[in-house]
Structure 1
Amino acid sequence: MATIEKRTTAEGTSYRVKIRLRGQSVQTATFARLSDAKRWGEQTAAAMREGRHFATTEAKRHTLNDAIARYKAENLPRLKDAEVRAGQLTWWGRELGGYVLADLTPARISEAREKLARETIQGGGIRSDATINRYLAALSVVLATCAKSWEWLEISPMRRVEKRKEPRGRVRYLSDDERERLLGACRDHPDLYAAVMLALTTGARRMEIMSLSWGQVDLSRRVILLEDTKNGERRPLPIVGPALDILRERAKVRRLDTDLVFPGRTHPKQPVDLRTPWETALRRASIENFHWHDLRHTTASYLAMNGAGLQEIAAVLGHKTLAMVKRYAHLSHEHVAGVMEDMAGKIFGGSK
């Protein structure tokens, strides 16, 4: 809301405009004419509501391309997904890079987002809502850095840009019968059987398993220490059940020309390629609509069905928040019901 205060001094009359909007810094300006004060107040208030006004002159001096170039030089090299993020930012640079940051409005970004959704990509399809949200996230980080670190913006316009609604996360896990069929079909291929068993008992990702080195495996402590994880943090994986026996046996006959637990036969410095054996095992086991990553879902589902809480599942999978593991909450219903039953019994006494 804009208010105008008339001031009269020995030097003459002036009009001071003050604009207050919730969540934004107060903006003020002084004019010699009332008409100029009213015009500035109306235009600036409208720009602030639309996310187009920034107090710093830096927002009018730098374009989005300037911001993207600086971010790529200073911040991008430290990220694990630098190559993917660079491609996303290049797209934004082509579409909006010529605009100065002051003119980068939520409406303009939203319009570009819709164009991104309509574009045909290689292979003839269009981008999924999840992919579009990753593009938005890449731009959001750049603009947040402009505001928080470089003082090129006062407030990021991304705060008023809506994300696409993504479908609920896929939960496909092996039934007991499917698990037995799959393991049976994998037994003829020692590397595949060992990798699948390790995936089922640890919840590790495919590349975490295939790039596993003996230096990360401590059989005496029964733990694997993952150093290079997706979220950038160390994650210990307990080695339990048959997976421990399998790794102990593999350690006895490990190759001396590589440190990989699953080395390739021809190129021992590279992980073995299990794609064809995996697809063959799925066909032999008559298992449909199942991907390697679903082994990870299977681990989480088994944990939920055996009483593990969401925080425990998140710790096993290496998720920093509970958002990604809430998809398994329904599987722990019986466990939660049992906890509630125990609570009611202790507080109110058993049923009569």
Structure 2
Amino acid sequence: MTKKSFSESYKEAGVDITAGYKSVELMKQYIARTKAFGDTDDVGGFGGLFHLDMKDLKDPVLVSGTDGVGTKLKIAFLMDKHDTVGIDCVAMCVNDIICVGAKPLFFLDYIACGKNYPEKIAQIVSGVAEGCVQSEAALIGGETAEMPGFYPEDEYDLAGFAVGVVDKSKVLDKTSIKEGDVMIALPSSGVHSNGFSLVRKVFDVENADLKKPLESLGGKSLGETLLTPTKIYVKPMLHVFDKVQVKAVSHITGGGFYENIPRSLPDGYGVKIQKKDVKVLPIFELLQKEGNIPERDMFNTYNMGVGMTFVVSSEEADAALAAAKEAGEDAYVLGEIVKSDEESVILC
């Protein structure tokens, strides 16, 4: 039926519905990669179907998360590279879900664009599918909206929504945290998807040579470094959950250390971190230098090289580090939990 669907009047207004059909056909090959992670229906219906297997769940709790990529997309436009921002979109959602202790089940995306270029939309979805594969979640549907006059022809926005599940007895309980517990860091892959309004201002990206290799970035270009996809921590954290008792997890997104770490700590407690122990990535050193940004603002805006933290007892710290490293993460001890009624993050 859709093959006969066509409106010349709508096309003259700037919306080509046949381009939408072509986009769906092109993206199906990428969506197929994720079907192994859930008994799902084919894409194209009015709703995405997912069969929830509850045989190992006594009291299942669904956990949801939604987010977008933000103005990092401006870098993708300037670089004309669209196959990685979908990973960011998935990461921002599933990394939040894992903080509760839940395993992601499925994902849906929403792409709004000024003009539907099917090949570009397919590139975006290829990244979304890759993010789903990394987090073992099924991509069960989405929406592409062509919105002429609202977005420039060559620009788009990208957002997503994920749902996960956890047995109620395994929901992480931060109230079990006590003085002397250890906070462990999992390194980030870069700036991830936060603070790009400041990044764009500091580097004047619209006028910068984004493809020029920079010695300060290990020979990588600024554009390549900034577009590095957000790391997805689902698999390593699930592996750690199987090995030790994790008390709390924090996804270090916008707001950096000062906003996100306190969300994983009970009232009356903080974490004492030696600044020298934080493995800061070169991109943050360059950003701070070029923008003359105060250190406090850096740690209150960016992940500074730490994408995720989790808390375990001091007795299980070594086992937790070993488990994270078994899962491919170069984990390290970030700080110690202390009693504190004033500061939740104490950088020394």
Q: Name the TM-score class by shorter chain.
A: under 0.3
Greater C-alpha Rg? 1
Which one has a larger percent helix, Structure 1 or Structure 2? 1
Comparing both chains, which one has the higher relative contact order based on Cα–Cα distances under 8 Å and sequence gaps of 6 or more?
2
Which one has a larger percent strand, Structure 1 or Structure 2? 2
